[in-house]
Amino acid sequence: MHELSIAISMIDQITEESANRGGLDVEAVHLRLGVFSGVDKDALLFSWELACEGSCLEGTRLVIETIPLVIYCAACQKDRVPPSVYQLSCPECGTPGQKIITGREIEVASLEVVA
């Protein structure tokens, strides 16, 4: 379980971001998390609360948007959602998809701050 490491990296990043913008009163953090990122959503939500305790982000909500796995099908020349995360092939024609378009994201999208 490396979600705690991820949560700590997020806190460092947001603290820096806030300082760069002259200090933000962060109410919520919006995260884009790919299903193929290797990070578990529930474990991250749990770790987030724990990691925030005693930091300037204590009490800040974490809002996670789940990003689906999308691969590129070279045969159809289209982006496709594969049947599952363990079957990376085109659902229409069955061609294996070597290129991942989305699904790996671990990205802070935005901060909701008190105006």
Partner 1 sequence: MITRMVEVRAKVLKQNDLLARTLRERFRQEGTCVVGLVSSPGSGKTAFLEKVLAGLARDSRVAALVGDLATENDAERLRRATPNVKQITTGTVCHLDAQMVEKSLESWRLDRIDFLFIENVGNLVCPSSYDLGEELRFVLLSATEGEDKPLKYPTIFNTSDVAIITKMDLADAAEFDVQAARRNIESVRPGMQIFEVSAKTGNGMQAVFDLLHAQLASARRVAVTR
Radius of gyration of the chain (CA): 17
Q: Are 31 and 112 in contact (CB under 8 A)?
A: no
Could you say which residues in the range 70-99 bind partner 1, by CB under 8 A?
Answer: 85-89, 96-98
Contact map string, positions 20 to 49, toward partner 1, x by CB under 8 A: -x--x--xx-xx----xxxx----------
CA 89 – CA 72 distance, rounded (Å)? 9
User: Which one among 6, 51, 62, 67 touches partner 1, defined by CB under 8 A?
Assistant: 6
Q: Which of 95, 56, 42, 48 is nearest to 73 (CA)?
A: 95
Q: Is 108 in the site for partner 1 (CB under 8 A)?
A: yes
Residues composing the chain: 115
Q: Which residues bind partner 1 (CB under 8 A)?
A: 1-2, 5-6, 9-10, 13-14, 17, 21, 24, 27-28, 30-31, 36-39, 85-89, 96-98, 100, 105-115
